[in-house]
Amino acid sequence: DDGDGIRDTRDAFPMDACATTDTDEDGQPDDVTCPPGQSTWLVADQDDDGDGVPDTMEGASDDDGPSAVGLVMLTAFVLLGLVLLLRRRGGDGQLSEKDLIHL
């Protein structure tokens, strides 16, 4: 027991009072805070969740990822064009004079 007030079964570093959690289980503590008079060889993990993005960069980007708005708009225009083309077709399956002019 390291005397940090955290039960050893819940402490990722039960022999070091300066660290208690390791969220991504990589062997580096999420945070290192030593009580007065104690020190440690442990270094705080720069990527607590293990996603490959440093904690200092998490959420720092203004880019929220790809937007589906453009794809939805393109799909809507294509479908609208198909509907209009089908409505302009003659009942016999042949293109009308207006269709031939626009082709």
Q: What are the tens digits of pLDDT across the range 62-90?
A: 555 566 777 888 899 999 988 887 776 65
Q: Specify burial of residue 6 (Cβ count, 10 A radius: 0-12, 13-18, 19+).
A: middle
Residues of the chain with pLDDT under 70: 59-67, 88-95, 99, 102-103
**Which pLDDT belongs to residue 54?**
84
Measured CA to CA, the distance from residue 58 to residue 62 in angstroms comes to: 11
Task: Provide the token pair at 17.
Answer: 């009072």
CA dist 88 and 71 (Å) reads 26
Question: Taking the complete model, does pTM exceed 0.85, yes or no?
Answer: no
